[in-house]
Amino acid sequence: MAETAPQPKLDNAGQPLPRLAVGVLIAICAAKFLLHAFTSLHRYGYFRDELYLLDCGRHLAWGYVDMAPLSALYARIALLMGGSLPALRILPALAGTGLVALAIVLARQLGGSRFAQALAGLSVLFVPVNLVMDDMLSMNAFEPLFWMGCVYLLIRIVRTGNPKLWLWFGLLAGLGLENKHSTLFFGFAIFLAVALTPLRREFAKPWIWMGGAIALLIFVPNLLWQIQRNFPTLQDLENVRRSGKNVVLSPVAFLGRQILMEQPILFPLWLAGLGSFLWGRGKRLRVLGLAFMIFFATLLLLHGKDYYLAPIYPVLFAGGAVATESWLARRRWAGARLWPKAAMVAALVLLGGVLVPLVTPMLSPERFLAYQRALHIHFSKTEAHQAGVLPQFFGDQFGWRLMVRQIAAIYNSLPAGERAKTGILTGNYGEAGAVNLFGPAYGLPRAYSRHQNYWYWGPPPVAYANLIVVQWSQKDVQDNCTSWRAYDHYARFGMAEENTPIYLCRNAKFNIQKIWWHYHHWN
């Protein structure tokens, strides 16, 4: 008997799903991972937040002042692998590779064939903000995986009519909440978008509510941690708002940042994806377009940072790729010809490749600055204090070892008797994390700080008479020290806030153990 060809899978409307372009998926994912393997795993140094995360990984808990608990778990995994820079950076590189694969799968779920799947994968690969996020360990590298996993399930619910998939949606949403609290706003956007479309009939079934219960159950440990400590994360966010730390953008500027952040050449693609969801696919997948619009408006109203919107774009790229493929199929001048598709891919790869050295540590700092000047590109600030010559995502990877060596020189210059009563106090979590990572090799004691979650890890076990203080003003030193000495500190490449003197404070006028709980520095 002759063998029959496998039949394509059908959804509940009888529409066949195209084949998954496995070769395309493997090739683009390999390119993504290798790009990070040859740049971020070995170039530059630890990012400020990574130094903090490593200490969080040493203090696992169900919550932290400024983040959900999964970030510390990622760092703990890296510590189990040795805590080296490659061990730390391989995790976000893998997450970014997974996102590229998921974008290709989303394009297929939306009806895209080989070209659409390739275009979606390449778009997500070359998005500048993705390249930055996937170059360093943080919750931001994993956030789009959870969100796009939820979007995949939502598309499957629409295509198959299977409401039990809401249970898996709830599982991913709950894990997303434990990864980053902004998933609350993503969930709100999805909930409201469902309510505004025919998909609202799902509210009459138990499965969507059961999925919500699963998400809440997963989130409960972190929620209890917050309640027991009077919601430190909300206090932290309010302090940031009052201090004016973040740059507040107008609606026009916010949209402009989206276009730049997501690669200007890709603006027509994700705009086409948004349009296809809102108007081009009837009412079936309008929920995706509405969810994006609701989330966009929410961030505008709350003055969120421009990159907070980044995790939702992969589905727009997938939708835009499918819309582009469909549009080309209807054009007589294109027809089955290869050249229009090849031209689009070539333009994306060439122009995307031009920007890669600007958002990955591919070049030395000197060559990066020269390349930036040659392209006449200036990186806008996201935080008001930024003052270094490099953009923050690069600048915060320099100067840490130098700073620790200088602290060690001060500490080790003291007689043994004085060293025993001398502690290290820093103003920022990056400085404390750097001392705790590099300091043991120089014989330094553990650094303490009242910044962010370090406050919960104090006070020091000894009421130090002397302190080596980092990021204190001269007035602070004069007010709190009987005598003091300043040691100039300067790192050419790095954030300028660290280019302040390091002080040796002798005979402190305060008992650090007694005053510790009187105030903290959350911002």
In tens digits, the chain (523 residues) has pLDDT values of 444 444 445 454 456 889 999 999 999 999 999 999 988 766 789 999 999 999 999 999 999 999 999 999 999 999 999 999 999 999 999 999 999 999 999 999 999 999 999 999 999 999 999 999 999 999 999 999 999 999 999 999 999 999 999 999 999 999 999 999 999 999 999 999 999 999 999 999 999 999 999 999 999 999 999 999 999 999 988 887 776 666 677 888 888 888 888 889 999 999 999 999 999 865 789 999 999 999 999 998 888 888 889 999 999 999 999 999 988 888 766 555 788 888 899 999 999 999 999 999 989 889 999 999 998 887 766 554 556 788 888 999 999 999 999 999 999 999 998 999 999 999 999 999 999 999 999 999 999 999 999 999 989 998 899 999 998 888 888 988 999 999 988 877 777 667 889 999 999 888 888 888 888 888 8
Return the DSSP state at 185: H
Cα–Cα distance list, 478 to 70, 470, 511 (Å): 41, 14, 16
User: What is the per-residue pLDDT for 4?
Assistant: 46
Residue (of 112, 106, 154, 10) closest to 323 by Cα position:
112
Q: Describe the strand order of the beta sheet including 466-470 as a list of residue ranges.
A: 447-449, 422-426, 466-470, 502-508, 481-487
The interaxial angle of helices 286-302 and 267-275, nearest 10 deg, is: 120
Q: For position 1, what pLDDT does the model report?
A: 41
Distances (CA, A) of 189 to 270, 295, 401, 470: 18, 5, 43, 42
Contact 496, 381 (CB under 8 A): no
User: What pLDDT, on the 0 to 100 scale, is given for residue 286?
Assistant: 94
Q: Quick one: the chain helix, strand, coil %, rounded to 5?
A: 65, 5, 30
Tokens (6 digits) for 491: 């790192």
Helix axes 286-302, 139-160, angle to 10 degrees: 150
- Please tell me the distance from the alpha carbon of residue 316 to that of residue 461, in angstroms, as a whole number: 53
DSSP state of 281: T
| Helix 114-126 / helix 339-359 crossing angle, nearest 10 deg | 20
CA 63 remoteness from chain centre: 18
Note the pLDDT of residue 334: 56
